[in-house]
Amino acid sequence: MFREYTKALFKRVDARQLMQFKPPTLPQRIYTKTLSVDNVHYAAFCQEVDWPANEHVHPLYLQMLSLPLQMQCLLDKQSPFPLLGLIHAANKVSVLDHCDLSEPFECRVRFHEVRPHNRGWEVDVMLEALQAGNLVYRAISSYLVKVKAVHVAPLGAKHDFHDDCELDNRALIGEISVSANTGRRYAKLSGDYNPIHLSAISAKMFGFKRPIAHGMWTLSRAVSAFVSHQDHGQSTNLKEINCRFRKPIFLPNDIHIQQHCKTDNSVLMDVTDSNDSLVHLSASLTFN
């Protein structure tokens, strides 16, 4: 996606829309493409994120595969949002039906919703994937665009996945040494060549002291750790993933994956630093 990031450098946006009190107008165009899965590519993805080969399809693979289509949506000429500078804030993924990797996916991507944020606007991009006319997958990616304007929402009480959960009961289920070239490896798989992930030089151009790991790489590894940690024979068919990204993971680094508040069909997870003091992401998983 070098071409898309080059376009982003020269994309002109109407900043006046972002400064108004009312939400900016979202483009109505739907971007569509039929995607077929390459087995070699899927195997490389599974190896990168340590996904058990005998499990169901990784619930974040289709989200990654559709990234070029999502980039086209974000680069829409009518979009008031600059692509460079967007902060990946959250993800909600719903696996609605069986996803057959041997059959093509009809993917549709569009802007979904925009809402005030105390630092600007938070905008959603939605992916829907169909097979044989049946909706099997939906993913919503939320991005923060920082704006200093009169519209911004006040900093109120934050809803957190852990509001009703005792953090003292966290259980360590994974320890990962994240190497310095993780961003480049995942970029090669995903096509997401955002400069902040590639090298210290390119990351510093955008205000980061070192390159940072892709949020979707981190979430994918955390989901894999949860599945791998389950008792043999226990169902791990994930139906929904809700994630908020908290703090970037600077490369290289060591991270811990923690689970807590586990029930028969749900669990809460954190990815923390090696001291368990800094939370990089929080997620809730629902499965059957």
How high is the mean pLDDT of the chain?
87
Residues facing residue 143 across a β-bridge: 88, 123
Q: Tell me which long-range contacts 2-8 makes (C-beta under 8 A, separation of at least 24).
A: 2/193, 4/68, 4/71, 4/72, 4/75, 4/83, 5/83, 5/84, 5/193, 5/194, 5/195, 7/75, 7/83, 8/75, 8/82, 8/83, 8/84
Predicted confidence (pLDDT) per residue in 122-164, tens digit: 999 999 999 999 999 999 999 988 887 666 666 555 556 666 5
Fold type of domain 169-287 = Thiol Ester Dehydrase; Chain A (3.10.129)
Structure tokens at 97: 């039906």
For the chain, the farthest-separated pair of C-alpha atoms sits apart, in whole angstroms, at 56
- Residue 229 to residue 161: CA distance in whole angstroms: 21
| Structure tokens that stand for 60 in this block | 């974040």
0.85 exceeded by the pTM?
Answer: yes
Percentages helix, strand, coil for the chain (3-state, rounded to 5) are: 25, 35, 40
Equal fold, 2-146 vs 169-287: yes
Domain segments of the chain as ranges: 2-146, 169-287
Q: Read off the pLDDT of residues 15-44 as tens digits, 9 standing for 90 and up.
A: 666 666 677 889 999 999 999 999 999 999
Cα distance from N-terminal residue to C-terminal residue, the chain: 36
Give percent of the chain above pLDDT 90.
60
Amino acid identity of residue 180, one-letter, is A
β-strand pairing of 134-146 with 171-178: unpaired
CATH class belonging to 2-146: alpha beta
In whole angstroms, what is the distance from residue 249 CA to residue 272 CA?
9
**Angle at which helices 39-49 and 182-190 pack, to 10 degrees?**
150
Residue type for 181, please? N
pLDDT tens per residue across span 86-122:
889 999 999 999 999 999 999 999 999 998 888 888 9
